[in-house]
Structure 1
Amino acid sequence: MPRASHHQLRSAFRALLASDRCYHTASVFDPMSARIAADLDFEVGILGGSVASLQVLGAPDFALITLSEFVEQAARIGRVARLPVIADADHGYGNALNVMRTVVELERAGVAALTIEDTLLPAQFGRKSTDLISVEEGVGKIRAALEARIDPELAIIARTHAGVVDSAEAIRRAQAYQAAGADGICLVGVKDFAHLEQIADGLEVPLMLVTYGNPQLRDNARLARLGVRIVVNGHGAYFAAIKATYDCLREQRGIEPGDLSATELTHKYTLPEDYIRWAEQFMDVKE
């Protein structure tokens, strides 16, 4: 894709949402990966919150990265991006007023779209790490995000976790966020097509689906018919980079190639057991 302004990239993303096709995201995490994705003709990229946490902090995805740190990484990508990039803005880094600040900063960084989720983040004392905020608070965040944006082409996508509530609640949340004016609905935790059909029925805005490679949701034509326009399969490119770095450094030290997978390496070097223990010890967080 030739060089384009941020506004033009946002318009290109809007065209994807308005199409009748289903597009798969490239996981981009720095300027080089963004350039590679564009050169390989990916239509859209995504900067994941979990990937940003790994790239910036070397920490697991426990909402530890700050807005400023995330925006700095998004801006590095935005300076060179030749494809639209979606920013996974987690919970908007706080309440509805914080969401407004998040939108302002990410818009200036050059992203084409951002997702705001209704997960209760960061984890609260004595609560489950997958608890959701109330629908009313979620609606307030979406309305605040819409109020804060300057470029009307910037897409505000409401994200909800359909895997931790029953179908009726997932439907209620998706429809409420649509009514609040969200440009799209992002669904996480959808089990299969029957589950997706239940939630999609009655929705008119485009859908974004985070599948993490779920084999039950691999029919692109069927996804497109149900209104799914964007699919996130995960962030394999980043994890492949971790594996390649590990193997290259072992070779430089004269050590035989390792047999740890990218997932095992990520687990080893982000120390998740420490964070889980601290969360249980200091916050009584329930898994």
Structure 2
Amino acid sequence: MTFRQRREKLRAILAGASCIHPGSVYDAISIRIAEDLGFELGMFGGSVASLAILGDPDVALITLTELAEQMRRMSRASPLPVLVDADHGYGNALNVRRTVQELEAAGAAGLTIEDTLLPQAFGEAKTQLISIEEGVGKMRAALDGRSDPSLVILGRTGAASITSLDDAIRRAKAYEATGVDALFFTGLKAREELEAIAAATRLPIVLGGAPEQFSAIDYLASQRVRIALQGHAPFAAATQAVYDTLKALREGASPKQLKGLASAELTGRLTREKAMAARSRDFLGLERG
């Protein structure tokens, strides 16, 4: 599947009438698992990218090169469309433009650009936002940076929990006016906030970090929410599994005593063993003994 076809699938999700939950992905195996389980979309979050690539918390230490390379690895491994959290675009509006170019070349189906001031300013404990004017400049630069018009650009704001709901709406309307394809919101705490945003805007909505009262997917769809994130539990589960396995081995357990390991069948399926064997036969003349 071409990169453009992947992007068109994401556009179809945003243009539809339903809301979906994406699968949180962060490497070649996790994206293949999400593909095989039937997820329509993968979500490559900034926090999970920092954890998977650096082993560091989400404090804006990861670089654009590192993020794009990991996206490139996932694009090679699976045709599943992926929405990438591109944070603040790794700098000012000119950096945003390059961020779009790099992630487009790496195969992302879409990406988000947010108006959070990153990295965190010296002496400021609370999260801060850039001005609306700078945010608009970043959105315009993002749109200018794409060469494939099917690449999806989302304007993102967490203003609802940082400044006010009114500010979130002002920012969303300003970003909408630049021509972005969808709006991404974090920090919403009540249905009334989502309803006010939906009434004031017209683009498809993506929700990140929504509370339990937003779990009714039909309700979300009625408010023009097309994608609702569910966090990054797969990475947390994988971390716990690796920790438990290494701990058991360190404490003297035999490999045969370990529980919860992937079967040879599952491992072979996720590594596309049959396809690789066919290529080995066709291109190298190798037959299995």
Above 0.5 in TM-score? yes
Offset of residue 253 of structure 1: 1.3
Pairing 1:222–2:219 present? yes
Aligned-partner Cα distance in 2 for 1:136–1:103:
20
Computed over aligned residues only, the root mean square deviation of the Cα atoms, in angstroms, reads 1.3
1:203 corresponds to: 201
1:96 corresponds to: 93
- SS of equivalent to 1:156: strand
> Is the CA contact (8 Å cut-off) linking 1:120 and 1:129 kept in structure 2?
no
Identity fraction in percent: 52
Give the structure-2-normalised TM-score. Answer: 0.85
Pairing 1:27–2:24 present? yes
2:174 corresponds to: 176
Q: List runs of 5+ in structure 2 lacking aligned partners.
A: 254-258, 260-289
Aligned-partner Cα distance in 1 for 2:252–2:165:
51
Aligned-partner Cα distance in 1 for 2:234–2:183:
25
Aligned-partner Cα distance in 1 for 2:245–2:198:
45
Give the one of 184, 187, 196 matched to 1:189: 187
Name the stretch that deviates more: 162-171 or 53-62. Answer: 162-171
Aligned-partner Cα distance in 2 for 1:129–1:69:
27
Pairing 1:11–2:8 present? yes
Offset of residue 129 of structure 1: 4.3
Offset of residue 203 of structure 1: 1.0
Extract structure 1 runs of 4+ deviating beyond 2 A. 126-129, 254-257
Give the letter aligned to residue 85 of structure 1.
Answer: V
Aligned-partner Cα distance in 2 for 1:141–1:192:
28
Aligned-partner Cα distance in 2 for 1:35–1:79:
10
Offset of residue 204 of structure 1: 0.9
Give the letter aligned to residue 116 of structure 1.
Answer: I
Give the structure-1-normalised TM-score. Answer: 0.86
- SS of equivalent to 2:200: coil
Aligned length: 253
* Structure 1 segment 230-249 matched on structure 2, within 5 A: 230-249=227-246
Aligned-partner Cα distance in 1 for 2:252–2:72:
37
- SS of equivalent to 2:112: strand
